[in-house]
């Protein structure tokens, strides 16, 4: 029977100490609900004595029934000079009314004497009395031995004394913290093995990523005797972050055979990663192992050919096992296997047009050379393939547009776009203002199309990016524009390239609207016809 490893998530506490990471109390509750659904064993919600937002989360959590997870309040041992009964921090922990609490104490003698300014014996007393007081109030206690590995390497005898104080006071788990993130996996294994010989209660690991080793150190600790891992979703956390649970969990489950979460929960790791990114208002990191967009992305033609025959040739596990999916990228490195895979993914029948495969490949490589990138603009790729294989024609033809940009000392700048388009044999001539020339052009184009295609009003432009391709030419450089768009739950990206930023922007914008009309306007017509039948 495989060994159980408990997963302790601290995204809502330690994760929020990361740069640009911020959650509202409501965001925290939504994330906690998802983690409970997945079966995380512990969810550390924050430090109730430190700020109103964390206290608001614990107030909200009191009204929620968590079926699988224990909500944890975080704090420190009592402040020197306070009795445990009257210590404000310990009071706040109890007032949070969580079934479990996590408190940290000093392990490194340097911190005791230089940071706290107290004797080593007084620190031992603080640890013992704080843990004992919380246990007497019927709380499960996870004791975080802060700076444990640095403290052990500096003074192993004293570091062990601090752990024994927590254990004798009744701590349910002692978590060994690599707070500065500078310990190596071999050191972790050796030290945890030694601690396992002298400490009987459960051990945990809390690793920071300053040496890019937090995941490796967490695995090493578990293999050496820890049965609890603390970490965060996406590795969010202070400085370089914490151990990324989206990597720790599948490594423990699939690679080492430990029991962590249910298999059905592992299949939701990718969506959970992206939910947390969204609520943190951060772009998902595409290169994250297991859950990133690039984790199972293949670009080289030889690789794709092999993967299509047997995915195990270039994938260490099935992307579906963690809720991700295989992606094939199209570039000038692509072969026919890439194109065939991508065409099938885009529902384009290439087999019916085998004779034009060389033409498609030639067009792709030529446009990549010119600066186009279809790896992040699959909607433009879809249109390009359709135009070659199906003689596809855009539903709207541009007849011309004009941009007016004014700037004066009193009113600032003003941008207006005038556009003429033809659709369904009719011409529409409209104008609109915007915050800038591209925004004005988009507004005018949208205004012209709505008369013919009312559903355009529900299409959203989500993002607009410009990249200079050959900076040596200064302001005359060629630029690539990427536009991200959405309609309901669907999203897509398009690309434009030109020495003229307006021309590149127009190409990406018009591709976005063309893709929308090709996919969703047709679907609407089919749906209406079916309803009539």
Counting every residue, how long is the chain?
533
Query: What is the average pLDDT across 450-471?
Result: 86
| 260 close to 252: Cβ distance less than 8 angstroms | yes
Query: What is the average pLDDT across 502-506?
Result: 93
Confidence of residue 186 (pLDDT cuts 50, 70, 90): very high
Query: What is the average pLDDT across 521-532?
Result: 43
399 pLDDT above the threshold of 90: yes
The torsion region of residue 448 among left (phi > 0), alpha (psi -120 to 50) and beta comes to alpha
Radius of gyration of the chain, Cα coordinates, nearest whole angstrom: 29
Whether the CA torsion 211, 215, 216, 222 is positive or negative: it is: positive
530 pLDDT above the threshold of 50: no
pLDDT digits (tens, 9 = 90+) for 279-323: 888 878 989 999 998 899 877 767 777 877 888 888 999 999 999
52 pLDDT above the threshold of 70: yes
The position carrying tokens 């434009």 is 496
Confidence of residue 350 (pLDDT cuts 50, 70, 90): low
Q: What is the 3-state secondary structure (H, E, C) of 77-91?
A: CCCCCCCCCCCHHHH
Q: What percent of the chain has pLDDT over 70?
A: 90
**Mean pLDDT for the chain overall:** 89
Look at residues 285, 294, 287, 246 and name the one whose alpha carbon lies nearest to residue 269: 246
Alpha-carbon distance of 174 to 330, in angstroms, equals 50
Residues 6+ apart with CB under 8 A from 256: 219, 222, 223
Q: What b/e readout covers 374-413, taking b as 16+ CB neighbours within 10 angstroms?
A: bbbbbbbbbbbbbebbeeeebbbeeeebebeeeeeeeeee
| 482 close to 495: Cβ distance less than 8 angstroms | yes
265 pLDDT above the threshold of 90: yes
Determine how β-strand 202-207 pairs with β-strand 228-231.
parallel
Predicted pLDDT of residue 334: 55
Which tokens belong to 426?
């009719």
* 501-516 and 437-450 helices, crossing angle to 10°: 30
| 109 close to 61: Cβ distance less than 8 angstroms | no
Confidence of residue 126 (pLDDT cuts 50, 70, 90): very high
């Amino acid at each position: 029977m495989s060994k159980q490893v408990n997963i302790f998530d601290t995204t809502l506490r330690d994760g929020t100490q990361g740069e640009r990471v911020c959650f509202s109390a409501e965001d925290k509750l939504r994330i906690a609900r998802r983690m409970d659904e997945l079966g995380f064993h512990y969810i550390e919600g924050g430090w109730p004595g430190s700020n109103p937002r964390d206290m608001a989360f614990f107030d909200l959590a009191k009204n929620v029934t968590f079926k699988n997870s224990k909500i944890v309040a975080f704090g420190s041992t009592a402040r020197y000079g306070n009795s445990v009964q009257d210590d404000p921090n310990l009071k706040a922990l109890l007032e949070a009314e969580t079934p479990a609490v996590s408190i940290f104490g000093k392990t490194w003698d340097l911190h005791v004497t230089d940071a706290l300014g107290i004797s080593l014996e007084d620190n031992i007393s603080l640890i013992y009395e704080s843990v004992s007081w919380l246990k007497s109030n019927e709380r499960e206690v996870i004791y975080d031995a802060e700076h444990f590995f640095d403290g052990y390497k500096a003074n192993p005898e004293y570091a062990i004394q601090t752990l024994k104080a927590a254990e004798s006071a009744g701590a349910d788990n002692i978590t060994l913290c690599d707070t500065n993130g500078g310990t190596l996996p071999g050191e972790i294994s050796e030290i945890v093995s030694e601690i396992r010989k002298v400490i009987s209660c459960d051990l945990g690991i809390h690793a920071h990523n300053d040496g890019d080793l937090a995941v490796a150190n967490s695995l090493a600790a578990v293999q050496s005797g820890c049965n609890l891992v603390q970490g965060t979703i996406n590795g969010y956390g202070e400085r370089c972050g914490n151990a990324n649970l989206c990597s720790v969990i599948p490594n423990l489950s699939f690679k080492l055979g430990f029991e962590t979460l249910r298999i059905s929960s592992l299949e939701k790791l990718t969506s959970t990663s992206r939910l947390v990114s969204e609520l943190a208002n951060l772009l998902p990191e595409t290169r994250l192992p297991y859950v990133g967009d690039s984790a199972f992305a293949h670009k080289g033609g030889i690789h794709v050919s092999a993967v299509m025959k047997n995915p195990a040739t270039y994938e260490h596990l099935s992307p579906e096992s963690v809720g991700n999916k295989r992606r094939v990228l199209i570039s000038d490195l692509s072969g026919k296997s890439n194109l065939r895979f991508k065409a099938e993914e885009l529902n384009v029948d290439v087999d019916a047009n085998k004779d034009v495969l060389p033409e498609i490949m030639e067009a792709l490589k030529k446009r990549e050379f010119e600066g186009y990138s279809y790896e992040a603009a699959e909607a433009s790729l879809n249109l390009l393939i359709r135009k070659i294989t199906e003689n596809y024609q855009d539903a709207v033809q541009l007849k011309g547009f004009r941009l007016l940009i004014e700037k004066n000392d009193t009113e600032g700048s003003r941008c207006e776009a005038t556009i003429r388009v033809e659709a369904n044999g009719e011409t529409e001539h409209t104008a609109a203002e915007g915050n800038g020339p591209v925004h004005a052009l988009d507004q005018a184009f949208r205004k012209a199309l709505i008369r013919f295609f009312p559903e355009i009003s529900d299409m959203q432009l989500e993002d607009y990016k410009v990249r200079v391709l050959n900076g040596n030419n200064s302001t005359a450089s060629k630029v690539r524009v990427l536009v991200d768009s959405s309609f309901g739950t669907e999203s897509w990206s398009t690309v434009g390239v030109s020495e003229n930023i307006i021309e590149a922007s127009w190409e990406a914008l018009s591709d976005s609207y063309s893709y929308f009309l090709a996919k969703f306007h047709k679907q609407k017509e089919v749906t209406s016809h079916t309803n009539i039948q």
